């Protein structure tokens, strides 16, 4: 991206990475506490970004223990020392619990070891304990230096030269138990492991009509239990922050037997290892099993997942998150002054932010204190917006009130899938149907898109009809790319015949175009004067009005997994470059983010035009790379990035130019990117965003109740999306200006600002805009 890029914050001076220099600085990177998938991606980003800006970067092996022991435990890292670690779980530099660092004596040794190498910048990847230790070390630094000088271990010059220590933290913890950040490194990967196990258990449990009690990690935080319960539609969940009410034993048994009576062949109960009752007494998985067996006589099994959750390869989300945070951490260290407090780089929405480390630690400790004092509502509130939102959504979707207790609205709300299938669509439909029924509406399912709508393929859909849908890939309702334009008459007739009062459309760019067509036809057909809302679901992630769409994360994981396998095969044969074509239409999201997650050397996308000189420079870059120990290359190409530079053309060019240096292979990923079971992110995102859409529909219908109001204003036809940090409804009429209709993409796309990251981490010079970084924000407790 050029320096004159118009996306600059208005009225501010742009600030680029080129303005920051790491010359003469030394950065130490360590991983501490429990390991988490994605830590290696963070280490890689810190090392490469540090070297890129001219700093020296040192590995500190075995966490704080290595810092105290010194010697070979602190070693300089180079570019190649972090090659091929992106896809590896755990941490290659080791992690250990360290008693010595808890003593001043230990910290004195650590300071001495760092000074021998001139390290005054620390990047700590770990949990709250590790980060608190780093902060204490920073506070004591000048005192430790003076003591070392008194002992004659360093001279007076050194005391002045290394007068202060900068500390930046990244949170690596699978529990997602750190306040102030939406997601910690490793959480998404742990959810992948849990969901893989649950999907496998569901098939066996159904065969035998069994009840399964699954225990997941989370001694003090129920995030993993809660999100996995949401993502698999569990019957009951036990969390430390929100214990069940008195008499839960009976309630749970009633719920399980009701579900069996509704022909549900299996029950799944999820328990966090730290689950407690309102008296702070532990609720164990064995206790729950005994209860189900004695009260109901069901065949019940317990599965404790244990360390499986920490293992395996990191998900695409964790790799991108860790890479972004690693780069941000280096920038924070370069910008730090003696007065800058220790900070944590964290994620808010899709925005990287910096927060004061001790504010986050304090709030994390406040949660534990609230639980100890049995102030459970406060505990949920302090956990933040996303935790409380997940809990409310789970409660609404898991427990159905008896019909006679739900006040009827006499409104019919229809749900339709439009466009190509995307993993997570079914989770969105399930959520919409259940929230709609809980709100008192009659829910209608439209089969086979607008084509089916015109033909009258419309049926009422009930609470139990959508049971077990969250884990299903594709679209159970059926979906087509057909637009409503040529069937407006027939669709209006069907709307009238079924007296449809509101419409929820789940789909991709075709759904967006369809919504525009229905909105334009309101003058002619008053049947369309009802609230209409679209939830974006497409692997391409090209819907205006939303930074993310359902299905893109699953596709990204498919691409990343495939690239991992291909890289493995390439490193076996040596000197081989793979060219991989991804889907996405004209939108380069999958190619760009896939490149970042898989550690690609280049990613060609439509949004950033390229010519033969760029291709030539990439070939030269790979030729240089083949002289190092990393003798393989990976190049991604979006399917429509160029009319003439096709995958075949690029393959032939690389093959010709690389003769004698490397050989080439090509691979077109194709429709495997649309298939497969949805990832935890897509299940969760589809469930939550669809529930929000139904709440909006309910609110709109409530406004009009008894007034026979027609909906004609723009704000009654919206796209629901995530923008920066918020979930927002935007009228399609307003989004028209932001859309490039010819290429079916939004005119501005947030992920383009991450483009230079991929280039920097692949050893290219790139201009990276750091205007957004730098402001230290404060942790906002969220009021329920």
Cα 782 to Cα 222, 386, 394, 630, 726: the distances in Å are 18, 10, 19, 47, 14
Average pLDDT over residues 541-546: 96
- Say what the pLDDT of residue 10 is: 34
Mean pLDDT within 343-364: 88
What pLDDT is attached to residue 572? Answer: 75
Query: Pairing state of beta strands 300-304 and 236-238?
Result: unpaired
Q: Flag whether pLDDT at 545 surpasses 90.
A: yes
pLDDT at 375: 94
Instruction: Please write the tens of the pLDDT for every residue from 265-280.
Output: 889 999 999 999 999 9
In whole angstroms, give the CA distance from residue 376 to residue 240.
9
pLDDT tens for 122-149 read 999 999 889 999 999 999 999 999 999 9
Q: What is the mean pLDDT of residues 499-507?
A: 97
Please report the pLDDT score of residue 613 as a whole number: 94
- Among candidate residues 69, 175, 439, 682, the one labeled active-site is 175
pLDDT at 11: 35
For 571-583, write each residue's pLDDT tens digit: 777 889 999 999 9
What number is the average pLDDT over the span 145-173? Answer: 93
Q: Decide if pLDDT at 2 tops 70.
A: no
Active site residue 299: no
Q: Supply the pLDDT for residue 707.
A: 65
Res. 68: pLDDT tops 90? yes
Identify the band that residue 394 occupies on the pLDDT scale cut at 50, 70 and 90: very high
Residue 519: partners with Cβ closer than 8 Å, 6 or more residues away: 528, 532, 714, 717, 732, 733
Q: What mean pLDDT comes out for the span 502-507?
A: 97
pLDDT surpasses 90 at 769: no
Give mean pLDDT, residues 490-518: 97
Report the percent of the chain where pLDDT is more than 70. Answer: 96
Q: What is the pLDDT of residues 684-708, one digit of tens each?
A: 999 999 999 999 999 999 988 766 6
Residue 182's pLDDT band (cuts 50, 70, 90) = confident
As a whole number, mean pLDDT of residues 161-168 equals 94
Band the pLDDT of 681: cuts 50, 70, 90: very high
DSSP string, 55-70: -EEEEETTHHHHHHH-
- Residue 591: is its pLDDT beyond 90? yes
Residue 15: the pLDDT is: 67
- Tokens at 73, concatenated: 């435990």
What is the CA angle 85-86-90, rounded to 5?
A: 70
Q: Percentage of the chain with pLDDT > 90?
A: 79
What pLDDT band is residue 781 in, cutting at 50, 70 and 90? low
Residue 782, pLDDT > 50, answer no
Q: Using one digit for the tens of pLDDT, what is the confidence trace for 398-421? A: 888 888 999 999 999 999 999 999
Residue among 196, 270, 205 nearest 240 (CA) = 270
Residues 6+ apart with CB under 8 A from 725: 348, 349, 350, 351
The tally of CA atoms less than 13 A away on the side-chain side of residue 2 is 5
At 128 the pLDDT is: 86
What rounded mean pLDDT belongs to the chain? 91
Of the pLDDT bands very low, low, confident and very high (cuts 50, 70, 90), residue 18 is: confident
């Amino acid at each position: 991206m050029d320096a004159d890029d118009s996306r600059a914050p208005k009225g501010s001076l742009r600030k680029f990475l080129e303005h920051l220099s790491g010359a003469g600085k030394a950065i130490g990177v360590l991983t501490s506490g429990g390991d988490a998938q994605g830590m290696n991606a963070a280490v890689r980003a810190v090392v490469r970004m540090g070297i890129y800006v001219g700093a020296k970067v040192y590995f500190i092996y075995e966490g704080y223990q290595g810092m105290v022991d010194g010697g070979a435990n602190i070693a300089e890292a180079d570019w190649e020392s972090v090659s091929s670690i992106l896809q590896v779980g755990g941490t290659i530099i080791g992690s250990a619990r360290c008693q010595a660092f808890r003593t001043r004596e230990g910290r004195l040794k650590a300071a001495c070891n760092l000074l021998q190498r001139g390290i005054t910048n620390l990047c700590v990847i770990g949990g709250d304990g590790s980060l608190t230790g780093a902060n204490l070390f920073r506070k004591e630094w000048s005192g430790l230096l003076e003591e070392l000088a008194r002992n004659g271990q360093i001279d007076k010059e050194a005391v002045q030269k290394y007068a202060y220590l900068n500390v930046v933290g990244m949170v690596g913890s699978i529990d997602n138990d750190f306040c102030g950040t939406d997601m910690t490194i490793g959480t998404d990967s742990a959810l992948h492991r849990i969901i893989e196990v649950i999907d496998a258990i569901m098939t066996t449990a159904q065969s035998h009509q069994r009840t399964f009690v699954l225990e997941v990690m989370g001694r003090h935080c129920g995030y993993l239990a809660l999100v996995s319960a949401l993502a698999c539609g569990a019957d009951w969940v036990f969390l430390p922050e929100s214990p069940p009410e008195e008499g839960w034993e009976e309630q749970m048994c009633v719920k399980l037997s009701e579900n069996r009576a509704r022909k549900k062949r299996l029950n799944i109960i999820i328990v966090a290892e730290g689950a407690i009752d309102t008296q702070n007494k532990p609720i164990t998985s064995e206790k729950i099993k005994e209860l189900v067996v004695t009260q109901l006589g069901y065949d019940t099994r317990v599965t404790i997942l244990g360390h499986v959750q920490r293992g395996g390869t990191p998900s695409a989300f964790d790799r991108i998150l860790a890479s972004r945070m690693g780069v941000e951490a280096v920038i924070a260290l370069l910008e730090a002054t003696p007065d800058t407090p220790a900070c944590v780089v964290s994620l808010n929405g899709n925005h990287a932010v910096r927060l004061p480390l001790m504010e986050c630690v304090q709030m994390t400790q406040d949660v534990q204190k609230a639980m100890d004092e049995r102030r459970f509502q406060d505990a949920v509130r302090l956990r933040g917006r996303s935790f409380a939102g997940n809990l409310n959504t789970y409660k609404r979707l898991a427990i159905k009130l008896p019909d006679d207790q739900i006040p009827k609205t006499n409104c019919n709300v229809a749900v339709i899938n439009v466009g190509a299938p995307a993993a997570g669509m079914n989770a969105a439909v399930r959520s919409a149907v259940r929230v709609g029924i809980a709100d008192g509406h009659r829910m209608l399912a439209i089969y086979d898109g607008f084509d089916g709508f015109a033909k009258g393929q419309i049926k009422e859909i009930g609470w139990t009809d959508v049971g077990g849908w969250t884990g299903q890939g594709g679209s159970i309702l059926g979906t087509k790319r057909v637009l409503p334009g040529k069937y407006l008459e027939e669709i209006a007739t069907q709307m009238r015949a079924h007296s449809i009062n509101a419409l929820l459309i789940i789909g991709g760019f075709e759904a967006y175009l369809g919504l525009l067509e229905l909105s334009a036809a309101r003058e002619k057909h008053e049947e369309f004067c009802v609230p209409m809302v679209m939830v974006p679901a497409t692997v391409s992630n090209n819907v205006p009005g939303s930074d993310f769409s359902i299905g893109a994360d699953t596709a990204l994981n498919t691409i990343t997994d495939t690239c991992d396998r291909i890289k493995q095969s390439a490193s076996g044969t040596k000197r081989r470059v793979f060219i991989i074509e991804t889907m996405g239409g004209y939108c380069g999201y999958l190619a760009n983010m896939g490149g970042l997650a898989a550690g690609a050397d280049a990613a060609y996308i439509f949004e950033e035009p390229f010519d033969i000189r760029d291709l030539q420079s990439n070939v030269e870059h790979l030729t240089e790379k083949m002289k190092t120990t990393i003798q393989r290359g990976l190049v991604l190409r979006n399917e429509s990035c160029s009319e003439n530079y096709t995958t075949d053309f690029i393959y032939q060019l690389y093959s010709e130019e690389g003769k004698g240096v490397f050989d080439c292979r090509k691979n077109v990923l194709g429709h495997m990117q649309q298939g497969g079971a949805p990832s935890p992110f897509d299940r969760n995102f589809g469930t939550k965003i669809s529930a929000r859409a139904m709440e909006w529909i309910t609110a709109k219908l409530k406004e009009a109740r008894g007034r026979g109001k027609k909906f004609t204003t723009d704000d009654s036809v919206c796209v629901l999306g995530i923008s920066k940090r918020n979930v927002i409804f935007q009228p399609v009429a307003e989004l028209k200006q932001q859309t490039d209709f010819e290429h079916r993409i939004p005119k501005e796309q947030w992920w383009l600002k991450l483009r230079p990251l991929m280039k920097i981490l692949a050893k290219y010079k790139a201009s990276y805009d750091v205007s957004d970084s730098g402001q230290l924000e404060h942790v906002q407790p969220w009021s329920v």
